[in-house]
């Protein structure tokens, strides 16, 4: 005779089977902030700590305590004002040259069909990895005192020296910076042109608009955020450029980075070097914030056929 066992009442937990294993507990996981501590500590030691030391040195009085007397002395000196004016002039002029040249070259690469346009765009990406002194050495090889151009002149005319000597002037530094930094403007422009709906260009062309008007009315408004982003980035880089000024041999061209180098290395005046470096860093951070604001305004991709990038 079979005997049925009544089921347990509702709401009563059933006991685990005899000899069975208890359910495994979920493994404990560390809080997320624990994983963020090591990189933050490393960043603080390697990057932030030296910057804090530089800032403190610029405001530390000889007998201890804090003072702004060092800033007043350095900022009021003729050498600092001259270096600041030279730095701003070179940076602004080179940035304007990069914007104009970069916009024209990006137009050609993106909208003018020619063999090797894709390879040209890839070369621009590769060019960004070149060191700045390499471009300066190439210009010295061509236009330096004993460069190719001056050598050809002396061979033809028999003169002792050639007529080309502009590389040792601010204009030589500007030429080197335009040559090196123009691809930094072209890259965001090519990305912006790739998002441009080419149907707008085709409609404008079908309505009889000339190429210059198409560029002014259709392409340029779409490129303004990219121009602002590339221009702000190039301006920051030009303000802090040291290798180009050093390798051109322009002894009379003293920029803020060169003033820091002279005060710290040649004169062992670390307080003056820290003051100038702090001012230069403040200018760079301000321009970097402008650059971030400009890149944030880059428009999202839209539909339609795209231009080449």
Query: Residue 171 belongs to a domain with what CATH number?
Result: 1.10.3720.10
The pLDDT tens digits of the residues spanning 64-89 come to 778 888 888 888 889 889 999 999 99
Look at residue 40 and tell me if it is in a domain: no
pLDDT class for 100, splitting at 50, 70, 90? very high
Question: CB-based contacts of 309: which residues, under 8 Å, 6+ apart?
Answer: 110, 121, 190, 191, 193, 194
Closest CA to 226 of 118, 125, 106: 106
Q: What is the mean pLDDT of residues 134-151?
A: 81
Q: What is the DSSP letter of 1?
A: -
Look at residue 154 and tell me if it is in a domain: yes
Look at residue 4 and tell me if it is in a domain: no
Look at residue 30 and tell me if it is in a domain: no
Tokens representing residue 169 in the block? 């002037």
Phi/psi region, residue 19 (left: phi>0; alpha: psi -120 to 50; beta: rest), is left
Look at residue 167 and tell me if it is in a domain: yes
Look at residue 231 and tell me if it is in a domain: yes
Look at residue 41 and tell me if it is in a domain: no
* pLDDT the model gives residue 61: 81
Look at residue 275 and tell me if it is in a domain: no
* pLDDT the model gives residue 11: 52
* pLDDT the model gives residue 24: 60
Tokens representing residue 31 in the block? 């809080």
Residue 60 CB burial class (10 angstroms; 0-12, 13-18, ≥19): middle
Phi/psi region, residue 305 (left: phi>0; alpha: psi -120 to 50; beta: rest), is beta
Length of the chain equals: 309
Mean pLDDT for the chain?
79
Residue 181 CB burial class (10 angstroms; 0-12, 13-18, ≥19): buried
The pLDDT tens digits of the residues spanning 216-264 come to 878 888 888 888 888 888 998 999 888 888 888 777 888 989 989 888 8
In degrees to the nearest 10, what's the CA dihedral of 284, 289, 291, 294?
-160
Q: Buried (b) or exposed (e) across 241-254, using 16+ Cβ within 10 A?
A: bebbbbbbebeebb
* pLDDT the model gives residue 40: 80
**What's the domain count of the chain?**
1
Measured between alpha carbons, how far is 306 from 79 in angstroms, rounded to an integer? 51
Domain enclosing residue 240, as ranges? 91-252
Sole residue written with tokens 């990038």: 309
Closest CA to 86 of 275, 215, 276: 276
């Amino acid at each position: 005779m079979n005997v049925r066992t009544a089921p347990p009442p509702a709401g009563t937990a059933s006991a685990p089977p005899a000899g069975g294993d208890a359910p495994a507990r979920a493994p404990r996981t560390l809080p997320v902030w624990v994983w963020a501590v090591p990189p933050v500590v490393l960043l603080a030691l390697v990057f932030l700590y030296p910057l804090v030391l530089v800032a403190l040195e610029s405001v530390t009085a000889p007998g201890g305590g804090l003072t702004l007397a060092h800033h007043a002395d350095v900022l009021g000196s003729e050498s600092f004002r001259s270096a600041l004016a030279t730095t701003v002039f070179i940076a602004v002029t080179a940035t304007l040259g990069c914007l104009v040249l970069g916009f024209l070259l990006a137009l050609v690469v993106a909208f003018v069909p020619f063999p090797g346009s894709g390879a040209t765009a890839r070369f621009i990406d590769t060019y960004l990895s070149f060191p700045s002194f390499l471009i300066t050495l190439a210009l010295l090889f061509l236009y330096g005192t004993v460069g190719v151009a001056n050598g050809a002149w002396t061979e033809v005319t028999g003169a002792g020296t050639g007529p080309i000597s502009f590389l040792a002037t601010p204009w030589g530094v500007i030429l080197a910076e335009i040559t090196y930094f123009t691809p930094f403007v072209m890259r965001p422009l090519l990305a912006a042109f790739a998002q441009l709906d080419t149907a707008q260009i085709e409609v404008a062309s079908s309505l009889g608009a000339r190429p210059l008007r198409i560029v002014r009315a259709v392409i340029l408004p779409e490129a303004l955020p990219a121009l602002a982003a590339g221009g702000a980035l190039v301006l920051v880089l030009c303000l802090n450029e040291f290798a180009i000024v050093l390798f051109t041999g322009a002894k009379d061209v003293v920029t803020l980075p060169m003033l820091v180098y002279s005060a710290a290395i040649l004169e062992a005046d670390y307080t003056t070097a820290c003051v100038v470096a702090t001012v230069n860093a403040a200018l760079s951070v301000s321009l970097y914030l402008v650059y971030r604001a400009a890149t944030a305004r880059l428009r999202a991709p839209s539909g339609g056929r795209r231009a080449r990038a």
